[in-house]
């Protein structure tokens, strides 16, 4: 499952990043979005173009849907 596909309010763990755009890995890592982190979508804009996410219960980010497609998740139990 990808970050761009999840509903708001559910918590997931980042499993890995899509390998098709390696330059995105550095962008994510530089702001603390990394495998093993817990992530939750707080809200989405109209047409889900932008996602407002919370990472590890303390950091908040706004990312584009096309960037969110690069983040592959595992659902928390």
Domains of the chain: 3-75 (2.30.30.90)
- Rounded CA separation 5/64 (Å): 12
- Rounded CA separation 54/23 (Å): 22
- Rounded CA separation 4/48 (Å): 8
- Rounded CA separation 60/8 (Å): 14
Mean pLDDT, to the nearest integer, of 24-49? Answer: 92
pLDDT band at 48 (very low <50, low <70, confident <90, very high): confident
Q: What is the pLDDT of residue 38?
A: 95
- 3-class SS at 10? coil
Q: Is the pLDDT of residue 77 over 60?
A: no
Q: What is the pLDDT of residue 72?
A: 96
């Amino acid at each position: 499952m990808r970050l761009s596909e999840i509903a708001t309010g559910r918590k997931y763990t980042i499993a890995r990043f899509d390998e098709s755009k390696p330059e995105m890995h550095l962008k994510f890592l530089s702001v603390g979005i990394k495998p093993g982190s817990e992530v939750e979508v707080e809200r989405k804009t109209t047409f889900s173009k932008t996602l407002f996410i919370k990472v590890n219960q303390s950091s908040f980010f706004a990312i584009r849907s096309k960037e969110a497609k690069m983040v592959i998740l595992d659902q928390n139990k």
